[in-house]
C-alpha cells in the first residue's frame, strides 16, 4: 500500500499528546517494511480555503503552525487521490477531525478529511463520499464542515462495547453507497489506549469491511491518522488497518 508521509511529521509541533515525540517513529518502524512511502506535499491555501475561513487560516499562520498543518492537509489530499485507484493511508500530523471552518480544538488545526474530500469533489473526481470516524472522540469538525452537504455521509461510531462496535461498522458498510470511503482513523479506542475497547485484530477487520464496501461500490477507500496515544501498540494497530484495507 502507498502511505503518504513526510519526515517533518516527526517534529514536536506543540505540547500535546498528538505531537508527542516518538509517536510517528513508532508507526513508521512498524509499517516501513510493508508499505511504499509517498512524500507528502503541502496543500495550497486555495485548497485549505475550500473548508476553512480566511480568518482561521490566518490564525493558524499566526500561531506558527500553518506549514505543518498545510503539509498534513496536502498529504490527505494525496491519499484521497491515490484511493481513486488503490487503497491508501495518510500518515500525517496534526490530526484534523476537531477542526471546523472557523475554529479548531483537540490538537487539530485544519480538517484534513474535509479538505481532501472537498478537493476531489471540486475536481469532479467524485460525486459522493462517506466518512467513517473510528476515533474515540466525536469528529465534530468534520460534521460541522461537511454534515449539511447532501453528497457526504458521516458516521461516528457510537458503541462502547467491542462486539457492538464491530457490528455497527458492518451495518454501516453494508448500507454505504459512495464513490469513496474515508476513514478518520483514530486508534485511541484500543484496549491499551484511552478507550479500552478494541483489540488490534479489530482494526484489521475494520479495514477489510471498508475495502469490501469500496469494491462493491466500484469506488475507493483510504485512511487518515487521527488519535492514538500509546506508542507501544500504535504501530501494530495502524499496520492492522493497513493490512485490512490492502485485502490481507
Q: For 106-144, how does the pLDDT look when each residue is reduced to its tens digit (9 = 90+)? A: 999 999 999 999 999 999 999 999 999 999 999 999 999
Q: Looking at the DSSP assignment, which residues form a beta bridge with residue 2?
A: 36, 88
What contacts 85, CB < 8 A, 6 or more positions away? Answer: 220
CA distances, 138 to each of 50, 123, 170 (Å): 22, 28, 19
CA distances, 226 to each of 18, 72, 92, 107, 124 (Å): 8, 11, 8, 10, 26
Q: For 25-79, how does the pLDDT look when each residue is reduced to its tens digit (9 = 90+)? A: 999 999 999 999 999 999 999 999 999 999 999 999 999 999 999 999 999 999 9
Flag whether the pTM goes above 0.85: yes
C-alpha cell of residue 3: 502511505
- Rounded distance between C-alpha atoms, residue 115 and residue 190, angstroms: 27
What contacts 146, CB < 8 A, 6 or more positions away? Answer: 114, 117, 118, 131, 152, 154
pLDDT band at 202 (very low <50, low <70, confident <90, very high): very high
Amino acid at each position: 500500500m502507498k502511505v503518504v508521509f513526510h519526515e517533518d511529521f516527526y517534529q514536536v509541533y506543540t505540547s500535546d499528546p498528538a505531537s508527542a515525540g516518538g509517536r510517528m517513529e513508532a508507526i513508521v518502524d512498524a509499517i516501513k517494511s510493508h508499505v511504499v512511502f509517498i512524500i507528502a506535499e503541502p496543500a495550497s491555501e486555495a485548497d485549505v480555503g475550500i473548508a476553512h475561513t480566511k480568518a482561521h487560516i490566518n490564525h493558524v499562520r499566526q500561531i506558527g503552525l500553518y506549514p505543518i498543518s498545510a503539509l498534513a492537509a496536502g498529504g490527505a489530499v494525496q491519499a484521497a487521490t491515490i484511493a481513486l485507484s488503490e487503497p491508501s493511508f495518510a500518515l500525517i500530523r496534526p490530526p484534523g477531525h476537531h477542526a471546523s471552518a472557523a475554529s479548531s480544538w483537540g490538537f487539530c488545526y485544519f480538517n484534513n478529511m474535509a479538505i481532501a474530500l472537498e478537493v476531489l469533489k471540486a475536481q469532479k473526481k467524485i460525486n459522493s463520499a462517506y466518512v467513517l470516524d473510528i476515533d474515540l472522540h466525536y469528529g465534530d469538525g468534520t460534521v460541522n464542515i461537511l454534515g449539511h452537504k447532501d453528497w457526504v455521509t458521516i458516521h461516528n461510531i457510537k458503541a462502547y462495547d467491542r462486539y457492538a462496535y464491530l457490528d455497527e461498522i458492518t451495518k454501516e458498510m453494508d448500507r454505504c453507497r459512495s464513490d469513496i470511503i474515508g476513514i478518520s482513523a483514530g486508534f485511541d479506542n484500543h484496549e491499551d489506549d484511552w478507550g479500552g475497547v478494541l483489540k488490534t485484530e479489530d482494526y484489521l477487520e475494520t479495514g477489510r469491511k471498508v475495502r469490501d464496501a469500496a469494491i462493491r461500490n466500484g469506488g475507493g477507500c483510504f485512511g487518515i491518522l487521527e488519535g492514538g496515544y500509546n506508542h507501544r501498540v500504535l504501530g501494530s494497530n495502524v499496520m492492522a488497518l493497513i493490512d485490512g484495507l490492502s485485502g490481507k
